[in-house]
Amino acid sequence: MHTVEFQSVSKSFSEKSIVKDISFSMRRGEIFGLLGPNGAGKTTLIRLLLDIIRPDTGEINVFGKLLNPTAKNRIGYLPEERGLYRKTELLDMLVYLAQLKGMPKKQAHLNAESLLKSLDFYQYKNKKVEELSKGMQQQIQFLSAIIHDPELIILDEPFSGLDPVNTKIVKTKILDLRAAGKTVILSTHMMEQAQTLCNRILMLNKGRRVLYGTVEEIRREHGRNSLIVELAEKEDLNAIREISGIKKITESGKLIEIFPEMGINAQILLEELVRRTNILRFEQSLPSLNDIFIETLESALNE
Ligand SMILES: Nc1ncnc2c1ncn2[C@@H]1O[C@H](COP(=O)(O)OP(=O)(O)OP(=O)(O)O)[C@@H](O)[C@H]1O
């Protein structure tokens, strides 16, 4: 069973098509990246998923069924526009939010205490939200999205406004959620975070699906099919030049990058290299998600 499944979903506002025939599915226990430039339709897609707006056509299933009020209590949402009860004390607010999602008060209390402790915020439990720094408020907002122990957690730009230390803390929390079998949707413009955290991604551009798959698959598909090799001895470079099927070799210090000719598999080339030279290290050169993001948008511009 998929945690979330969109089948040919489309949505227009005032006859302007915003989400165009989108299909994808999400598995339990994965971090799913929702990527795309400003205005691509990511928030609209999240609103569709949360049943805040309805699709014009297509079907959305959550936890294997059409979205219903019980399912909504199993979802946690950190919206892009933040909003907390500023005059309320931390612990009380978290308990209240969990109860709103159907959790009994006693359990809500236990959860709130445990989460506050996990971020080392327990000492602030009786502070009002407005007395906290912006970064702390941001983290409290994150906690308020998971206070009721949801199975599906939607995080819209969870790192915005956080310094590197707090970014790391939130990142660790997201990984903990995945380890606990939760499904996490991460909508972000921070490609580095998406690359390291996400199992799979969906990238939208102008409401259309332009990339979809595992990060690994997508990086390989967009790979340059080149090899980066560290040689024990520089003289080996001459031996490499004698290998047929190599289009180009570039050098950068101890590392060389070898570009095979069209139709030549990098793996076969590697076997030849190992036979003829003393290789200390090799890796297949893969583009970053950031490079792929830019390349995909640029090629869409030229269409
Ligand atoms: N309720 C609405 N009525 C009319 N147009 C809307 C509505 N909601 C969204 N849009 C339009 O849909 C498009 C996609 O917006 P959306 O907020 O989904 O993009 P996004 O990918 O989340 O962007 P960002 O990264 O900037 O947050 C935008 O052009 C926006 O103006």
> Which residue segments constitute the domains of the chain, with CATH numbers given?
4-220 (3.40.50.300), 224-284 (3.30.70.100)
Could you tell me where the DSSP H helices lie in the chain?
Answer: 42-49, 69-72, 90-100, 105-118, 134-146, 164-179, 191-197, 215-221, 236-241, 266-276, 289-301
**Phi, psi angle pair for 184, to nearest 5°:** -120, 130
Q: What is the pLDDT of residues 104-137, one digit of tens each?
A: 999 999 999 999 998 888 899 898 888 888 888 8
pLDDT-wise least confident of 64-78, 97-111, 154-168, 251-265: 251-265
pLDDT value of position 303: 66
Residues with Cβ within 8 Å of 163's Cβ and at least 6 positions away in sequence, in order, are 135
41 alpha carbon to ligand 1 midpoint, in Å?
5
290 alpha carbon to ligand 1 midpoint, in Å?
22
pLDDT band at 235 (very low <50, low <70, confident <90, very high): confident
pLDDT value of position 129: 82
Q: Average pLDDT over the chain, rounded to whole?
A: 89
Q: What is the pLDDT of residues 138-161, one digit of tens each?
A: 888 899 999 999 999 999 999 988
Of 62, 84, 212, nearest to 152 by C-alpha is 62
Q: Amino acid letter at 303?
A: E
Select from 20, 35, 43, 191 the residue to mutate for testing ligand 1; criterion: most ligand atoms less than 8 Å from CB: 43
Residues with Cβ within 8 Å of 192's Cβ and at least 6 positions away in sequence, in order, are 288, 289, 290
pLDDT band at 57 (very low <50, low <70, confident <90, very high): very high
The pLDDT of 92-111, averaged and rounded, is: 90
pTM of the model: 0.83
Q: Amino acid letter at 56?
A: D
Residue of the CA atom closest to atom 17 of ligand 1: 43
